[in-house]
Chains A and B, each alone.
Chain A
Amino acid sequence: MIEDPRLVQVQRKTRLRLLFSGVTLLFYFSFSLNWMNLGSFLREPIGDSVINGSIVMFVLLILGFIAAEMIFMLISRREKY
């Protein structure tokens, strides 16, 4: 049985979608570490400032998610379909 080449391409794209979603989901739920003992290091101030890892993580997550979207869009543009 010869599989539709479009289907193969679309299935590959589906895996890409799920990969990006899985990684993003992992980072998203990692934010709950801030409220766990496991993530106590995040609550420590950085250097001499009062800015701690929790605040930095919040900002980095937002910027990181936007960066992930940009990468996803760039990969999508290069694809045939």
Chain B
Amino acid sequence: MVRVLLLLIAAGAHLPTMAAGGDISGEVVRQPVNPMAIGMFLVFVALTLAITWRASKSTKTSASFYNAGGEITGLQNGAAIAGDFMSAASFLGITGLIFLGGFDGVILSIGAFAAWPFMLFLFAKRVRNLGSYTFVDVVSERLDRDRIRIVAVFGTITVVVMYLIAQMVGAGKLIQLLFGLPYELAVVIVSALVLAYVAFGGMLATTWVQIIKAILLLTGVTLMAILILVQSDFSFDTLLRMAGDSHPRGEAILAPGVLFDDPVQIVTIQVSMLFGILGLPHILMRLFTVPDMHQAKLSAFYASLLIGYFYILLLVIGFGAAALLYNNPEFFGIGGEIIGGSNMASIHLATALGGDILTGFMSAVTFATILAVVAGLTVSGAAAISHDLYAEVLKQGKPDPVTELRITRITVFVIGIVAVLLGIAFEDENVAFVATMPMVVAASVNFPILFLSLFWRGLTTQGAIAGALVGLVSSIVLIVLGPQVWVSVLDHEAALFPYNYPALFTLPLALLVTWVVSKADNSERGVIDKQNYDDLLIRSELGET
């Protein structure tokens, strides 16, 4: 029942899945072919491929591949982060949730947005100063580089693979909905385009795809919000009254409690989203694309501005959908359900507001959104294997540059093929748990290692490895015992663990184990790890080497 929403949210990459209570429903129904949407999408593809061709001329080394040569400005990088972040899930999923349950839908917005102040306060400057291409560079600065790299790379690959599965399945379903294309064709198109962007244009092309997508999406949602407010004489109060009058639950949707009634469930979502986003490898990787620490801080700040603006507009669009769609039988089927499921609410709203042209534009932007996110994931996965494993572990930081770049591109192609195979293999599976896992693993494995390596003198390699392993295992076990796997996949009557997002429990557990093991670690290596801290602290703030 909640599957379509889960898939769409998975497609967004940065929002967790959620087992929303209530009457979320709607199976994926292939829609008629939408020539306007396809035409606009082809324009986007042509533009981005031209950029990729241009970027390929300057992507000659691994450095330029991984971090665009470090030449992206803070504003450009902030827009790219926003482009990576303002996902199909945000636009379709949150709008659909507000359309269905009103205020409860915004819990995802606040969770997704709040990570950015923390990125600025805690990580932007320090990660940029200490790393080269990936967050694994940072955590290996003061710890035993080989052992911690292998553990951190495992965390990265787990997150990337899980996201790719969720992305590809979500992409296939979304494109069926939006464009009327067959599932398999949609998966192959997404993979082929991403391969072209990433293999030839590297991070530079990926960055520009994300920037263009951000501009298009912000333009679209701004236009939609203005058109909605025109209907309510630019009064938000009037808009809310219209939504309350139209919605079957009345003005109850304006307050919390329609979809969620358990505060612990709310906190589990908050913890997973906040700390999960702070541990996402492809997001952290964007901090290395700028020339210095000041631009890294600006990146996080500009990203906040754009993402905050976007989520405030979604409030208008979500309640606008409730106000304008419920009374319009054109968008509902014979059984009274909204056509295509609740996640189509924003697309139907575009039709109601701007006809075929706005519908086509927003559909094309949504497709572009998926491409941008998959491209970022692919770069991150390739860097984890070719840089973190091959160059830094196998070659001990002294790889042959030509060979490294070749391995990077081969890795990209392998990831692309694997993504297609996984996407097709999981087409009919319940992938809700696959979409949940990356956020919980990132929160319970990547975040504790990164945070403690930057802010706690007492951290040792043994402690970090023990905490990461406990975080990983406990995340997987609790997700399996939770409703998404134990009930939805394994068909048991009741879950052994009541929450979908165990990060509220697994993150503190990982931190506790890390602390205990580090405290008990009297090894020679443990002493070195602690002695390295002051030097790392100074370099992280001052950028000295």
A positions within 8 Å CB-CB of B: 4, 6-7, 9-11, 13-14, 17-18, 20-21, 24-25, 28-29, 31-32, 34-36, 43, 49-52, 54-55, 58-59, 61-63, 65-66, 68-70, 72-73, 76, 81
Q: Sorted from nearest, which 9 A-B pairs have the closest CB atoms?
A: A43-B255, A34-B256, A49-B237, A35-B263, A10-B541, A62-B308, A20-B121, A65-B117, A32-B266
CB distance B121 to A21 under 8 Å? yes
Q: Give the CA-CA distance A11 to B274 in the complex, in Å.
A: 25
Closest to A76 in B: B297
Q: How far is the CB of A80 from chain B (nearest CB, A)?
A: 10
Q: List the B side residues contacting A51 at CB < 8 Å.
A: 236-237, 240, 254
| Docked-complex contact B455 and A7, CB < 8 angstroms | no
A17 and B122 contact, CB distance less than 8 A? yes
Asked whether B103 lies within 8 Å of A54 as measured between CB atoms, the reply is: yes
Please list 5 pairs of residues, one from A and one from B, whose beta carbons are closer than 8 Å in the complex, sorted by A's number.
Answer: A10-B537, A10-B541, A31-B270, A50-B237, A55-B254
Q: Are A72 and B537 in contact, with the CB atoms below 8 A?
A: no
Do A59 and B455 have beta carbons less than 8 Å apart? no
Asked if B542 and A65 sit within 8 Å, CB to CB, the answer is: no
B537 lies within 8 A of A11 (CB)? yes
Known: A28-B270, A55-B315. A50 touches B254 (CB 8 A): yes
How distant is A74 from chain B, measured CB to nearest CB, in Å? 11
Q: Which residue of A lies closest to B297 (CB)?
A: A73
B-to-A contact residues, CB < 8 Å:
103, 106-107, 109-110, 113-114, 116-118, 120-122, 236-237, 240-241, 244, 251, 254-257, 260-263, 266-267, 270, 274, 297, 300-301, 304-305, 308, 311-312, 315, 455, 534, 537-538, 540-542
Q: Contact at B254–A52, with CB atoms within 8 Å?
A: yes
Q: Which applies to chain A's interface (DSSP): helix, strand, loop or mixed?
A: helix
Bound Cα distance A65, B534 (Å): 30
Partner of A28, one of B103, B110, B312: B110
Question: In this complex, which of B120, B257, B260 has the most chain A Cβ atoms within 10 angstroms of its Cβ?
Answer: B120
> Are A62 and B120 in contact (CB-based, < 8 A)?
no
Known: A32-B266, A35-B260, A59-B315. 6 other contacts (CB 8 A): A24-B117, A25-B118, A28-B274, A52-B254, A66-B117, A76-B297
Contacts of B120 in A (CB 8 A): 69, 72-73
B117, chain A: closest CB distance, angstroms: 5
Closest beta carbon of chain B to A16's beta carbon, Å? 9
- Contact of B304 (CB < 8 Å), options: A28, A31, A54, A66: A66
Nearest B residue to A59, CB-CB: B312
